[in-house]
Amino acid sequence: MRRIVIDKDSRGTIAIYWTITAVIALLAAILIKSAWILVPILVILAAFAFFVFWFHRVPDRDIPEGDDSLVTSVADGKVVVIERVYEGEYFKGDCIQVSVYMDFFDVHTNFWPVTGEISYYKYHPGKYLLAFLPKSSEKNEHSSTAIRNSRGEVFFKQIAGTFARRIVCYSEEGMSVERGHQCGIIKFGSRIDIFLPLDSEILVKEGDFTKARITPIARLK
């Protein structure tokens, strides 16, 4: 049986939500005398506390074998965009964009899509538009990371959504990373945009559901 691991940067968040939930439960127990009202409230609060704990887990999954060409999903979620676009921050040219949208119930822990060296990183403060809107890629709070290896480069963005107010990213320029290992977490509702060279072989289609660290997204040529 695989053990449940909680994201190290989320323990404080969990503690805050659990404390608030406990205070509300205590006040409810003091103020509400009817068991028919109190019990459902306590059940809902307990379910919420468990959800907060479960939401911040780091999934224990086997990383598929592959060389430097294999690109795997950064996050759990639904593929909502596959298109040729102009990427102006890093590539400064046309590339293929693959976007994965995470809803409220998806695992929000993120993982390096390829093995290589981080060639670029930048954090961008911003707005909190709905993450599935096209404008969210540029206007929302997000972090940008590029990874270079022997087969090319992959550039991806961790984008905050309406309910996500904090992005954790481990990127540092010059750091060596391994595909499938944790690169950070986005808290509560968000999206990942992955930008690939035009000659990449795309292995997913719009509407597919991906699993972080195990679903192949593309192969670099």
Residue 64 or residue 97, greater confidence: 97
Task: State residue 38 phi and psi, 5-degree precision.
Answer: -65, -45
All structural domains of the chain with their residue ranges: 5-58, 70-219
Note the pLDDT tens digit of each residue in 122-152: 998 866 555 455 555 566 788 999 999 999 9
For the chain, what is the mean pLDDT?
A: 88
Has residue 98 got a pLDDT over 90?
A: yes
Q: Which of 144, 171, 190, 200 is catalytic?
A: 190
Q: Give the SS3 label for residue 136.
A: helix
Structure letter (DSSP) for residue 188 = S
State the average pLDDT over residues 10-38: 91
Has residue 48 got a pLDDT over 50?
A: yes
State the average pLDDT over residues 88-105: 92
> What is the second-level CATH architecture of the domain 70-219?
Distorted Sandwich (2.70)
Look up residue 39 and give its two tokens.
């019990």
pTM, 2 dp:
0.81
pLDDT of residue 160: 81
Note the pLDDT tens digit of each residue in 86-95: 999 999 999 9
pLDDT of residue 189: 61
pLDDT of residue 131: 47
Pairing mode, strands 152-160 and 190-196: antiparallel
Order across the sheet with 176-177: list the strands: 176-177, 116-124, 142-149, 152-160, 190-196, 93-102, 77-87, 209-210
Spatial separation of the C-alpha atoms in residues 34 and 39, rounded to whole Å: 9
In the chain, which residue ranges form alpha helices assigned H by DSSP?
Answer: 11-31, 35-55, 136-139
State the average pLDDT over residues 142-171: 87
Question: What angle (nearest 5°) sits at the alpha carbon of residue 172, between those of residues 171 and 175?
Answer: 100
How many other C-beta atoms lie within 10 A of the C-beta of residue 51? 13
Judge whether 190 counts as a catalytic residue: yes
